[in-house]
């Protein structure tokens, strides 16, 4: 049997760091308020002229190097983003050209904060069916470009960054299962209410901003992530105690802690970066995964649960043996 196994990870964060104290100077908020409600202390914000693909390229190169392969070995690119460089072509195609890769499938996936899990699941299916041998899977965002920096309820939450993995065909166990869901009934609880085919004047005026009903999103997220933990464990006939690491989407420390409690898992087995990165949407899981792999916490052979929840609503999980 062929498995899809993570061969290398990489990540990149813009140099520009914005702290809660910095935001106190821009909007009516406080460091204490942000920390208590979200756990966030700072976030990285892309510099003017720095694009989603710029961030993704750096993360991709690190993942390819870590995998010990050449860029030309990549035969599939799946790119998760909500903030693409252009309406078209896709970020995946733009990145493909930058990496000097030609001919392989390359496409974007839009599932907001669940985008990386959706992309990982998609690439895994390509590998399991023999359609790909080495896939580059990326989550990258410049979410700061769709924030209203006068809205204190949203601008304090998000940051920019990119993470990537190389997924390769292997006889060794890799991704054990993936689970994807969506429910569009909740669309207006977390969305950008305008786009190319809807209120394009707002887009042209630079007013295409994130809108969120935070309390409602929090409640649905906690309940949904609890259910997907059960679904993932049941599908693999696995006990909670068999999970070595939880790498969650980094949206809010309270949501992360609730998922850890669901797993009866101490927080020292949970990879947490939200305090330093904020919510980087599709980039948050690969950023956290790369950090934990590179600092030696996540070791080969350990069982890792990835889970995410995002606008749509979308949600998903991936269970893997690293």
Rounded Cα distance between 249 and 274, Å, is 9
**With contact defined as beta carbons under 8 Å apart, do 272 and 285 qualify?**
no
Of the candidates 93, 113, 155, 194, the residue annotated as catalytic is 113
Structure tokens at 142: 């410049």
Rounded Cα distance between 206 and 146, Å, is 9
Count CA within 13 A, CB hemisphere, residue 215.
0
Structure tokens at 42: 């700072």
Is 249 tagged catalytic? Answer: yes
Among 277, 258, 281, 257, which Cα is nearest to 17's? Answer: 277
**With contact defined as beta carbons under 8 Å apart, do 166 and 67 qualify?**
yes
Of the candidates 44, 93, 155, 279, the residue annotated as catalytic is 279
**With contact defined as beta carbons under 8 Å apart, do 107 and 167 qualify?**
no
Rounded Cα distance between 162 and 291, Å, is 12
Of the candidates 20, 249, 252, 277, the residue annotated as catalytic is 249
Is 279 tagged catalytic? Answer: yes
Contacts of 4 (CB under 8 A, 6+ apart): 123, 124, 127, 128, 135, 167, 168, 169, 170, 174, 175
Q: What is the phi-psi region of residue 103: left when phi exceeds 0, alpha when psi lies from -120 to 50, beta otherwise?
A: left
Rounded Cα distance between 126 and 128, Å, is 6
180: how many CB neighbours lie within 10 A of its CB? Answer: 18
The catalytic residues are 113, 249, 279
């Amino acid at each position: 049997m062929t498995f899809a196994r993570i061969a290398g990870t990489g990540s990149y964060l813009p140099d520009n760091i914005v702290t809660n104290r910095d935001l106190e100077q821009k909007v009516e908020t406080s460091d204490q308020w942000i920390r208590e409600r979200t756990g966030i202390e700072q976030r990285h914000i892309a510099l003017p002229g720095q694009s989603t693909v710029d961030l993704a390229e750096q993360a991709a190169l690190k993942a390819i190097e870590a995998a010990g392969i050449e860029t030309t070995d990549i035969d599939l690119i799946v790119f998760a983003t909500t903030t693409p460089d252009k309406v078209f072509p896709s970020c995946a195609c733009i990145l493909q050209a930058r990496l000097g890769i030609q001919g392989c499938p390359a496409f974007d996936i839009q599932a907001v904060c669940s985008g990386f899990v959706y992309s990982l699941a998609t690439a895994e299916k390509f590998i399991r069916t023999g359609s790909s041998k080495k896939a580059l899977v990326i989550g990258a965002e410049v979410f700061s470009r769709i924030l209203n920096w006068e809205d204190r309820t949203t601008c304090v939450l998000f940051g920019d960054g990119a993470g990537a993995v190389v997924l390769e065909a292997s006889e060794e166990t890799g991704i054990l299962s993936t689970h994807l869901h969506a429910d569009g009934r909740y669309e207006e609880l977390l969305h950008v209410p305008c786009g190319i085919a809807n209120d394009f004047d707002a887009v042209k005026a630079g007013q295409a901003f994130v809108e969120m009903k935070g309390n409602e999103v929090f409640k649905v997220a906690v309940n949904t992530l609890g259910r997907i933990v059960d679904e993932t464990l049941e599908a693999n006939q696995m006990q909670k105690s068999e999970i070595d690491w939880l790498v969650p989407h980094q949206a809010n420390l309270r949501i992360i802690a609730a998922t850890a409690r669901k797993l009866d898992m101490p927080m020292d087995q949970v990879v947490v970066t939200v305090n330093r990165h904020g919510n980087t949407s599709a980039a948050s899981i690969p950023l956290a995964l790369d950090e934990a792999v590179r600092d030696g916490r996540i070791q080969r052979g350990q069982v890792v649960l990835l889970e995410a929840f995002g606008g749509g609503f979308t949600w998903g999980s991936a269970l893997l043996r690293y």
